[in-house]
Amino acid sequence: MSRADPYRVTVIGLAVLTVVMFAYPCLRIDAEFEIDYNEGWNAFLQGLAVSGVSPYSGGGALFFNNYPPLSFYLVGLLGLAVGDPVLAGRLLSVLAMGVIAVSAGVVTRANGGSRPDAGLAAATCCAMFCAFATDYVGVDDPQLLAQGLLCAGFALYVSGRPTPARMAAVALLFALGLLTKHNVLVLPLVVTVHALWRAPAAGRWTFLTVGLTLIAIATATIAMLFGADFFRLLLAPRIYDATRGFLLTMEVLGRIQAPLAIAGLYLLLARDGAIGGMVAAYLAGSLLLGIGFSGGAGVDINIFFDAMIASAMGIGLTATWLRSRQGLPRSAPAMLAVLANIGVLLLTPQVLGRMVVEALGDYAERETLFRADVDYLGQIPGPAVCESMLLCLRAGKEITIDPYNVLQASLTGRLPPEYLEGMLRRHAFAIVQISSMREHPLDEAKGLQVIPPRFVNFSDGVFDELARSYTVDRVGLTGRFHRPKPP
């Protein structure tokens, strides 16, 4: 290709834009305040793990952990090295995002794609995450870490001959990914089926042997270290709401509709080789999994991350195929690149605007306000309930309540329905910090029902009991601080 080739110029432009957007989660990586609700929850469990306490029972009877154990120990150990588990988790998340994007490019190259094709796949992948899932990139959460391990395994699988050594490495990466997060089953399943069907005998048996051995070792180790607590919490039921699932699915698919439609049509119609078949299966399986689980309580856009990654891989494969067609305009690949990223491009002003606003002082102001909340909370003696668990950690408060999972345990019969309300009635807590809304909010001025929040961490009964037994003592960056009313 010549330097003036419109496709190359377009891909370079998209890559530059992606780097600019990716800079945002990198620059905020040392933020004192929480970027996502899960950060404090993960940091607490990471602290337990490296202190030798079980992350499945060490939090007490009102703290529930239904994640696999690897991330707590991995991030916790790195946290000891860098001085903070939250910073360690954010660093690994940023690194994992890079691995995911590069893996999309490697898959494209393995299917015969050019460097611009691979660059398009990588840029499309990273840009979607930075535009549509900003609060998951560079966050102390195991989701991207797990995805990065699995994508690295897939890229390794498709980029060379399936020798025993390569297949053993793929099995190891898949095992590490599944021990980090358990909702990433599709890609290992696709590769396993393909390996059983198409891999040479030596590679196939190595993959199976190493994989089954790792499963056995992991199961035995988990059973020995954590006992029944792990399996009980991992399989604990949650509320499922089909309406919520439909709305979440429509929201996410609306955001990624351009790359999803382009990659889906190509993968459905072209059927271009073994890699194309695996990416097609990956995309279809991830959509089915995402739609099926989208109604689960606590599920967010992360359940569709596999679909986003598969779509980006599919865009790279589509570009490779399109450039091989005769008689098409020279600008056709460039038009494909723009069309695949049209959603990202339309959202770019909002993403860049957010960066500018924070650079002009919003970031510094939030740091100051968060430190003020930490100082205030640290001066209050006695037990606390923190919806922002990172706030409690920074203030040196013991965390004994996991609000979201306590609510789920109450709704599914694992705790008495009004357990937390009873504790509030008895003034069991010296302070309660809440930032969220009621599940069924009411605009009292107009007498109208307000649209409920997506995530509910406290029942309406908790808000009612707070109004009866507590009074708001402070309103800060992290929400409202309630203190017990005098007898």
Give per-residue pLDDT as tens, 436-466. Answer: 888 776 655 555 555 666 678 899 999 999 9
Band (pLDDT 50/70/90 cuts) for residue 372 is very high
For the ranges 294-298, 306-310, 442-446, 457-461, which has the lowest average pLDDT? 442-446
Band (pLDDT 50/70/90 cuts) for residue 142 is very high
Mean pLDDT value across the chain = 92
Q: Over 90: is that where the pLDDT of 177 sits?
A: yes
Average pLDDT, integer, range 463-480: 95
Candidate ranges 162-176, 240-254, 436-450; pick with highest mean pLDDT: 162-176
Tokens of 467: 């109004």
Tokens of 363: 């970031």
Average pLDDT, integer, range 402-431: 92
Share of the chain above pLDDT 90, in %: 80
Band (pLDDT 50/70/90 cuts) for residue 272 is confident
Tokens of 109: 């190259």
pLDDT, position 443: 56
**Residue recorded with tokens 């996410």:** 252
pLDDT, position 156: 98
pLDDT, position 434: 94
What are the beta bridge partners of residue 476? Answer: 479
Q: CA 61 → CA 50, 236, 409, 462, distances in Å?
A: 20, 14, 11, 19
Average pLDDT, integer, range 123-138: 95
Give the SS3 label for residue 442. Answer: strand
For the ranges 28-37, 121-130, 341-350, 452-461, which has the lowest average pLDDT? 452-461
Radius of gyration of the chain (CA): 24
Average pLDDT, integer, range 189-204: 95
Average pLDDT, integer, range 313-321: 95
Cα–Cα distance, 151 to 324 (Å, whole number): 26
Q: Over 50: is that where the pLDDT of 486 sits?
A: yes
Band (pLDDT 50/70/90 cuts) for residue 324 is confident
Cβ–Cβ < 8 Å for 439, 459: yes
pLDDT, position 446: 52
Residues 6 or more apart from 108 whose CB is under 8 A from it?
A: 117, 118, 120, 121, 313, 316, 317, 319, 320
**Residue recorded with tokens 């309660």:** 432
Average pLDDT, integer, range 61-89: 95
pLDDT, position 1: 44
Cβ–Cβ < 8 Å for 188, 74: no
pLDDT, position 213: 97
Give the SS3 label for residue 386. Answer: strand
Cβ–Cβ < 8 Å for 470, 432: yes
Q: Over 70: is that where the pLDDT of 290 sits?
A: yes
Global pTM? Answer: 0.94
pLDDT, position 2: 46
Report the Cα–Cα distance between both ends of the chain, in Å, rounded. Answer: 80
For the ranges 66-75, 150-159, 348-357, 423-432, which has the lowest average pLDDT? 348-357
Burial of residue 301 (CB within 10 Å: 0-12, 13-18, 19+) is buried
Cβ–Cβ < 8 Å for 211, 175: yes
Put the strands of the sheet holding 470-476 in their side by side order: 384-386, 431-434, 479-484, 470-476
Please name which of 351, 356, 440 lies closest in space to residue 130, comparing C-alpha atoms.
351
Please name which of 115, 132, 90 lies closest in space to residue 15, comparing C-alpha atoms.
115
Say which DSSP state 486 is in: P
Sign of the torsion angle spanned by Cα atoms 349, 353, 356, 358? negative
Cα–Cα distance, 375 to 364 (Å, whole number): 17
Cβ–Cβ < 8 Å for 42, 84: no
Please name which of 311, 301, 266 lies closest in space to residue 124, comparing C-alpha atoms.
311
**Residue recorded with tokens 């660093």:** 91
Average pLDDT, integer, range 128-153: 96
Average pLDDT, integer, range 218-234: 93
**Residue recorded with tokens 């696709």:** 190
pLDDT, position 244: 87
